[in-house]
Amino acid sequence: MASIKTISKILIIIPAYNEAGCIEKVVDNLERNYPQYDYVVINDGSTDDTRKICARRGYNFMDLPVNTGLSGAIKSGMRYANYYGYDYVLQLDGDGQHDPKYIEDMITEMERTGCDIVIGSRFKTKRKPVNSRMIGSQLLTYAIMITTGGKYIGDVTSGMRLFNKRMIKRFGYDINYSPEPDTLAYLLNCGVKIEEVQVEMHERIAGTSYLDFKNSIWYMMKMFFSIFIFQWVRKREKGDKK
């Protein structure tokens, strides 16, 4: 791990798996234009040059020896944030799709509403386009509404999320918490308050998403099974409602 930079109350965690083509532009943008925020790159067992780039450039990063998946990378980042006493964590993808200029808007929304999580949403004030991926996203939105008594989240698959201190600890140490849409249903049923802020997202800087058509179908099937079946039998801790 590179040397720890000056601690602020906000930590940006950047999960990165094989993002050698993107990570420099993402981190350089943060260091150049948003130096008020601390960050840590979570190199999730990358097999490309992601680790070498982070080390060569002196970035603040954690180097996971094997690929743990997004959930494992997020948990590692949350534990880091909890250990160093951060008040907020922002999850920012390592592919350049998320724009840090919305961080202040998200913090303002969290402080205004007292919510636990703020999602950077592409569809807070804008309609979803009609394509296969967005149809799947809308179906997940409806599934969450059905299983949570009508609670609406427009952009359930957005990976740009702001977490408060309570959620930092939960996501770091509770196995029931992951960064996937099915967890949103679980959280809402546990009384966790979630809000959205309108953002614009960019195309990824380089590379391709692992969610091709085949993987997208499999992903959607897993999410629907979890929301409609697994979430009903999941044990809810009383502490989640406090």
Strands across the sheet containing 88-91:
61-64, 38-44, 10-16, 88-91, 161-163, 117-121, 194-198
Q: For the chain, what percent of residues have pLDDT higher than 70?
A: 86
Instruction: Convert the pLDDT of each residue in 175-217 to its tens digit.
Output: 888 889 899 999 999 999 999 999 999 876 765 555 555 677 8
**pLDDT tens digits for range 137-160:** 889 999 999 999 999 999 999 999
pLDDT in tens, 18-67: 999 999 999 999 999 999 999 999 999 999 999 999 999 999 999 999 99
Across the range 159-172, mean pLDDT stands at 97
Mean pLDDT for the chain overall: 88
Q: Where are the domains of the chain?
A: 10-234
Strand partners, 62: 42
Distance CA 229, CA 149 (A): 16
pLDDT of residue 160: 98
Question: CATH top-level class for 10-234?
Answer: alpha beta
Cα separation of the two ends of the chain: 35
